[in-house]
Structure 1
Amino acid sequence: MLEERWERIVSEVNFAFQPIVNPHTGMVFGFEALLRNYQDAGFESIEALFEAAFRERVLYDVDLELRKKVFIKFVDIRKELQTKNCNFTDTVRVFYNLDTRILDMSEYRPGNTKTILNNLGLDQSILCFDISEKHQIKSFTALRNVLTIYKQQGFCVALDNFGIGFSGFELMYHSEPNIIKIDKQYIRNICFDRKRRLYATQMVKMAHIEGAIVIAEGVESEEDLNIIRQIGCDFAQGFLIARPTVKLKELEFVYKVSVFSADSDKKAASSDAGLIQKYLEKRQPLEINMLVKDLLERFKHDNEAVSIPVVDKFSRPVGIIEERKMKKYVYSLYGKEIVQKHPLARYVTNVPIVDMHQSLGEIIQDFTSYNDIDGIIVADGGIYAGYLSARLLLETIHLKNIETAREENPLTKLPGNNAILNYIEQATKDTANYRMLIYMDLDNFKPFNDRFGFKIGDRAILMIAEQLKEYAKKHNAFIGHIGGDDFFIGTSLANENEVQKHQVLVADILQTFSFAVKAFYEKEERKKGSYTAKDRFGEERVFALLEASAAIINLDAGAIIGNDELGEVFSKLKKESKTADSHMAIHFIRKP
Structure 2
Amino acid sequence: MEDKLDIGKLDFAFQPIINTNSGKTFAVEALLRNCKELGFNSINSFFDYLAKEEILYNYDIKLRKKALKKFKKIDIPNIKIFYNLDNRVFNMPNKKLGKTLEILEELDIKPDKLCFELTEHNLFKDEKNLQESIKNYNQNDIKTAIDDFGTGVSGLHLLYISDTNFVKIDKFFISYIDKDPKKRLFCSSIVEMAHTMGIKVIAEGIERVEEYLTCKDIKVDYLQGYLFCRPTIDITEIKKSYKGRSFFKKDRRVLSNNIDKSFIEKVDAISDDSSLHDLFIYFKEHTKNTFVPVVNSEKKILGAIYEVDIKKISYSQYGLSLAKNQSFKAKLKHYLQAVPEIDISWGIDKALEIFNLRNDAKGIFVSKDSIYYGFISLNNLLLLSYKRNIEIAENQNPLTKLPGNNQIDDFIYNIFDKKIQSQIIYFDFNDFKPFNDTYGFRLGDRAILMFSEILQKYLSRESFIAHIGGDDFFVGFVNMSYENVYNIIFNIQKEFEHNVQSLYNENDLKNGHITAKDRYGTIREFKLLSVSASIIEVNKQSSIENFNSKLGEIKKRSKFIDKPFGICINM
Per the shorter chain, which TM-score range?
0.7 to 0.9
Are residue 236 (structure 1) and residue 223 (structure 2) matched? yes
Q: Which of 412, 418, 422 in structure 2 is aligned with 1:421?
A: 412
Taking the aligned partners of 2:449 and 2:414, their CA distance within structure 1 comes to: 16
What are the equivalent positions in structure 2 for 1:14-53 lying under 5 Å apart?
A: 14-53=11-50
Letter paired with 2:151: I
Listed one character per residue, the Cα deviations across residues 115-143 of structure 1 (whole Å, up to 9, x for unaligned) are 43444443333222222233333444443
Give 1:357 deviation, angstroms: 0.8
Deviates more, 1:560-569 or 1:239-248: 560-569
Give 1:552 deviation, angstroms: 4.2
Give 1:392 deviation, angstroms: 1.4
Q: Give the equivalent residue in structure 2 for 1:196.
A: 183
Letter paired with 2:298: F
Give 1:47 deviation, angstroms: 1.9
Q: Which of 232, 247, 258 in structure 2 is aligned with 1:272?
A: 258
Taking the aligned partners of 2:21 and 2:329, their CA distance within structure 1 comes to: 40
Q: Give the equivalent residue in structure 1 for 2:294.
A: 310
Give 1:220 deviation, angstroms: 2.4
SS in 1 for 2:51: helix
Taking the aligned partners of 2:540 and 2:564, their CA distance within structure 1 comes to: 15
Give 1:19 deviation, angstroms: 0.8
Q: Is the 8 A contact 2:89 2:95 kept in 1?
A: yes
Q: Give the equivalent residue in structure 2 for 1:387.
A: 375
Cα 1:173–1:182, aligned 2, differ >3 Å: closer, same or farther? same
Taking the aligned partners of 1:109 and 1:507, their CA distance within structure 2 comes to: 61
Are residue 282 (structure 1) and residue 266 (structure 2) matched? yes
SS in 1 for 2:16: strand
Cα 1:409–1:52, aligned 2, differ >3 Å: closer, same or farther? closer
Listed one character per residue, the Cα deviations across residues 207-263 of structure 1 (whole Å, up to 9, x for unaligned) are 222222211112222222222212221111112222212233332111144353666
Taking the aligned partners of 2:137 and 2:250, their CA distance within structure 1 comes to: 39
Q: Give the equivalent residue in structure 2 for 1:149.
A: 136
Listed one character per residue, the Cα deviations across residues 509-563 of structure 1 (whole Å, up to 9, x for unaligned) are xxxxxxxxxxxxxxxxx978459xxxxxxxxxxxxxxxxx99842379xx97953
Are residue 475 (structure 1) and residue 455 (structure 2) matched? yes
Q: Is the 8 A contact 1:13 1:35 kept in 2?
A: yes
Q: Give the equivalent residue in structure 2 for 1:185.
A: 172
Letter paired with 1:587: F
Letter paired with 2:188: T
Are residue 489 (structure 1) and residue 456 (structure 2) matched? no
Taking the aligned partners of 2:428 and 2:92, their CA distance within structure 1 comes to: 68
Taking the aligned partners of 1:171 and 1:279, their CA distance within structure 2 comes to: 37
Taking the aligned partners of 1:159 and 1:345, their CA distance within structure 2 comes to: 25
Are residue 375 (structure 1) and residue 363 (structure 2) matched? yes
Q: Is the 8 A contact 1:163 1:182 kept in 2?
A: yes
Q: Give the equivalent residue in structure 2 for 1:501.
A: 494
What are the equivalent positions in structure 2 for 1:427-446 lying under 5 Å apart?
A: 429=421, 437-438=425-426
Q: Give the equivalent residue in structure 2 for 1:210.
A: 197
Q: Give the equivalent residue in structure 1 for 2:436.
A: none
Cα 1:555–1:189, aligned 2, differ >3 Å: closer, same or farther? farther
Are residue 588 (structure 1) and residue 566 (structure 2) matched? yes
Listed one character per residue, the Cα deviations across residues 433-473 of structure 1 (whole Å, up to 9, x for unaligned) are xx66117699xxxxxxxxxxxxxxxxxxxx99998676434
SS in 2 for 1:319: strand
Taking the aligned partners of 1:164 and 1:527, their CA distance within structure 2 comes to: 53
Listed one character per residue, the Cα deviations across residues 305-358 of structure 1 (whole Å, up to 9, x for unaligned) are 4444333332222334455677899999x9998996653444544443211111
Letter paired with 2:412: L
Q: Is the 8 A contact 1:22 1:28 kept in 2?
A: yes
SS in 1 for 2:161: helix
Are residue 94 (structure 1) and residue 73 (structure 2) matched? no
Give 1:59 deviation, angstroms: 2.3
Q: Is the 8 A contact 2:206 2:227 kept in 1?
A: yes
Cα 1:390–1:572, aligned 2, differ >3 Å: closer, same or farther? same
Q: Give the equivalent residue in structure 2 for 1:573.
A: 554
Q: Is the 8 A contact 1:289 1:345 kept in 2?
A: no
Are residue 134 (structure 1) and residue 121 (structure 2) matched? yes
Taking the aligned partners of 2:60 and 2:531, their CA distance within structure 1 comes to: 65
Letter paired with 1:387: F
Give 1:376 deviation, angstroms: 2.0
Cα 1:438–1:304, aligned 2, differ >3 Å: closer, same or farther? same
Taking the aligned partners of 2:492 and 2:380, their CA distance within structure 1 comes to: 42
Deviates more, 1:225-234 or 1:561-570: 561-570
Deviates more, 1:225-234 or 1:323-332: 323-332
C-alpha root-mean-square deviation of aligned residues, in Å?
4.7
Give 1:30 deviation, angstroms: 0.7
Taking the aligned partners of 1:116 and 1:574, their CA distance within structure 2 comes to: 67
Listed one character per residue, the Cα deviations across residues 280-328 of structure 1 (whole Å, up to 9, x for unaligned) are 1222334445566655665566554444433333222233445567789
Give 1:403 deviation, angstroms: 5.7
Deviates more, 1:137-146 or 1:16-25: 137-146
Give 1:40 deviation, angstroms: 2.2
Letter paired with 1:319: G
Taking the aligned partners of 1:241 and 1:356, their CA distance within structure 2 comes to: 25
Q: Which of 347, 370, 373 in structure 2 is aligned with 1:359?
A: 347
Q: Give the equivalent residue in structure 2 for 1:176.
A: 163
Cα 1:265–1:441, aligned 2, differ >3 Å: closer, same or farther? same
Give 1:92 deviation, angstroms: 0.9
- Matched-pair identity in %: 31
Q: Is the 8 A contact 2:454 2:492 kept in 1?
A: no
Q: Is the 8 A contact 1:210 1:350 kept in 2?
A: no
SS in 1 for 2:37: coil
Q: Give the equivalent residue in structure 2 for 1:545.
A: none
Give 1:39 deviation, angstroms: 1.6
Q: Which has the larger radius of gyration?
A: 1
Q: Give the equivalent residue in structure 1 for 2:513.
A: none
Cα 1:146–1:499, aligned 2, differ >3 Å: closer, same or farther? closer
Cα 1:572–1:528, aligned 2, differ >3 Å: closer, same or farther? closer
Cα 1:506–1:569, aligned 2, differ >3 Å: closer, same or farther? farther
SS in 2 for 1:282: coil
TM-score (norm 1): 0.72
TM-score (norm 2): 0.74
SS in 1 for 2:220: coil
Q: Is the 8 A contact 1:367 1:376 kept in 2?
A: yes
Q: Give the equivalent residue in structure 1 for 2:238.
A: 251
Q: Give the equivalent residue in structure 2 for 1:449.
A: none
Q: Is the 8 A contact 1:130 1:159 kept in 2?
A: yes
Ranges in structure 2 where 5+ consecutive residues have no aligned partner: 431-442, 477-484, 502-515, 522-529
